[in-house]
Structure 1
């Protein structure tokens, strides 16, 4: 435990409520984004912008439905389409990136995570944003207990977490490329 406390000496330690898995996942996901972007990957915000646009359209449709005396619009197909886009493209993604500048690969990354409810096992996956590309690497992942990265007080031991995520990024970058 002494080793963990020594590595948490940052100015603003990240603290989570250990009884709330959403709080834990949020801090880990934010840290993963920091780690990946610190490695030279630039965030691709196009999917987030599409999601915001679709959300705005849905809100406008809901406002029309609320304030006009007509039946709710028959927009079921539109809503199903929005859900399918989010489900098939985004899944559990927390970050989409462009390829790093000067890289020989033509695809960025999709970084996704899972922390099931009532579980301490955090799964982090790194895959290519275009899995059909010839320069796409094989997806890599790890599953570890969140208890390895947090102190009893709920402070994230960033050094340990950065080391694990950095090793996963290195593993993805070292994977041999697909051969055709």
Structure 2
């Protein structure tokens, strides 16, 4: 008779390689997205969809140029037009990434039933060779009258990980929720005295 091994009680443990910068940032960013969504914010995927569509058009232009050039090598004008289109579309994509996305990990709609008409832009930084993780929450539309002031949290990642690389989700959850509450408090209309 075969013995069954006891199953782990915590199947969803988030573990990072503490020697790998990207592993740590990925785990934290993924957790931030989960926490923000659990606070009633729905993800706004319009920018992601626009990038996917633009990327698909860029690939199609590159494929057309490649195969057209093989079939009709004498027609250089069409090839030059395809190359120019490819360069321009790539430039547009890079401009979107630089101006809109920056370090953003999540764009949201405003929570349902909220007085605000703008969602959030959640961004993070974990500089190379540093243990300081910075999480920033901004308004998705900073020019809106209901936009809150930007709030930021900077802490050492050693505060949230065990020596084995396991994320202590309770501590991290508490810090991120407090930051979301700070943002909501900054955006509330001030009471008149």
**TM-score exceeds 0.5:** yes
Greater relative contact order (Cα < 8 A, sep 6+): 1
Aligned to 1:143: 154
Describe the SS at the equivalent of 2:134: strand
- Within a 5 Å distance, the mapping from 1:10-49 to structure 2 comes to 10-49=10-49
Match of 1:111 in 2: 122
Aligned residues: 171
Output the TM-score relative to the length of structure 2. 0.83
Structure 2 counterpart SS, 1:175: helix
Q: 1:5 aligns to what?
A: none
Normalising to structure 1: TM-score of the pair? 0.89
> Structure 1 residue 21: deviation in Å?
0.9
Classify 1:176/1:109 alpha carbon distance in 2 versus 1 (closer, same or farther; 3 Å). closer
| Distance (whole Å) between structure 2 residues aligned to residue 121 and residue 58 of structure 1 | 37
Q: CA deviation at 1:176?
A: 4.8
Judged with a 3 Å threshold, the aligned counterparts in structure 2 of structure 1 residues 116 and 160 are, in CA distance, closer, same or farther, namely same
Counterpart position of 2:173: 162
Paired residue for 1:66? 66
Counterpart of 1:3?
none
Contact 1:136 1:177 in 2 (8 A): no
Deviation at 1:119, TM superposition (A): 1.4
Asked if the contact 1:138/1:177 (under 8 Å) is kept, the reply is: no
Task: Report the alpha carbon displacement of residue 62 of structure 1 after superposing the two structures with TM.
Answer: 2.2
Shift of 1:19: 1.3
Greater C-alpha radius of gyration: 2
Describe the SS at the equivalent of 1:73. helix
Is the Cα contact below 8 Å between 1:126 and 1:141 reproduced in 2? yes
Q: Which runs of 5+ in 2 are unaligned?
A: 1-8, 70-78
Post-superposition CA distance 1:111-142 (Å, at most 9, x none): 00111122111110000000000000000011
Task: Give distance in 2, aligned partners of 1:45 and 1:82.
Answer: 16
Contact kept, 8 Å, 2:122 with 2:136, in 1: the verdict is yes
- Where 1:152 maps in the other structure, the secondary structure is coil
- The 2-side partners of 1:178 and 1:136 are apart by 10
